Amino acid sequence: MLHPSMLQMLKELLEEGVRKDPKNMGQVLVSLLKDLALLKPQHGEDDLTTFVEYRHPLYQVVKQLDTIKAFIASKGLDGATTSEINDFFSSEFKAGLIKERLEMLIFNNNIKMGKKRIGVYVSNVYYVI
């Protein structure tokens, strides 16, 4: 099944999750990110070839995580308070680590290849210039 863009797919999954299972909305995003190979590479820590095809979509996800969090919080989810949703996404054990891992996966490939890249941190996201 083809999707017009990664962000469109995220939006659709989030909207579906809000309708069907608002309490587990955060798990929808976490599961999607895991499906995008966050649990790989299984060959070893230094093998980042798995992520080459995902670098652009993962970069887009990193850029949109704060927007996604705001989107979920603005829905006034039944059965889950805004603070619970915010806690889930700001928890260093959940979204914080996911965001950090995404950033590492996206930008670490350049380091492994010995390329020096110059960038800037904006809201804890390192954007390569």
pLDDT single digits (tens) 68-112: 666 666 655 554 555 665 665 555 445 555 556 555 555 554 444
33-67 pLDDT, tens digit each: 555 544 444 444 444 554 555 566 556 666 666 66
User: Is residue 88 in some structural domain?
Assistant: yes
How many Å apart are CA 67 and CA 73, to the nearest integer? 10
What residues make up the domain containing 37? 6-128
pLDDT of residue 85: 56
Say how many domains are in the chain: 1
User: Is residue 108 in some structural domain?
Assistant: yes
Amino acid found at 64: Q
* Contact indicator for 34, 92 with CB cutoff of 8 Å: no
pLDDT of residue 20: 72
Query: How far apart are the two ends of the chain, measured CA to CA in Å?
Result: 33
User: Is residue 1 in some structural domain?
Assistant: no
